[in-house]
Amino acid sequence: MISTYCNQFKESVLTSYLSYNLVAFLINKPSLGITNSPTTAQLLERKTLTMEEAAAFEINVAGGYKRAIIPLTPLINNDNERSSFINVSAQFTPTAGSFAACTHICYARGASLATASNANGNNRGDNTGILIKVEPVINAPFIITAPTTFIHNTQFKLIYD
């Protein structure tokens, strides 16, 4: 017998998981590797990075930096019968000068948003949540200067059997 996961189920899994207080934040941690050819050790360091560790390397509030709270608009793409993905975009715009140098962008689910505000950088430095993705930024270490908006697009993929 051949079973099939229904599209409604696949969409629900992705959106239910990602729509729970998804945030993106910038860190400066060159040891995670900043090239397109990271070493095995650098990949392992990314893979084992925790939310607490990542938050400790979050860039400071210079330039008006704050975390990007990502409103998830479910737009599920089913590439084939074995995988689906959702595209996500995070934006960072300096409001007072430049941001400190960053090497990676992190995405976390379940972040604390109860007291998030511009004044506290949308809870910059808070380590509540589950770190789900770490990616190098282009041209790392990268400094974002006003009035440039840095937009990072990524994809979360669900593969099933």
Residue spans of the domains in the chain: they are: 7-159
Q: What's this model's pTM, rounded to 2 decimal places?
A: 0.87
Helix, strand, coil percent content, the chain, rounded in steps of 5: 20, 30, 50
In tens, the pLDDT along 81-132 reads 677 788 888 999 888 888 889 999 999 988 888 888 777 778 787 888 899 9
In angstroms, what CA-CA distances link 34 with 56, 138, 142? 18, 8, 10
Give 145's pLDDT tier (boundaries 50, 70, 90).
confident
Q: Given a cut of 70, is residue 16 above it in pLDDT?
A: yes
Average pLDDT of the residues in 14-39: 87
Alpha-carbon 56 to chain mean position: 15
Give 141's pLDDT tier (boundaries 50, 70, 90).
confident
**Is 12 in a helix, a strand, or coil?**
helix
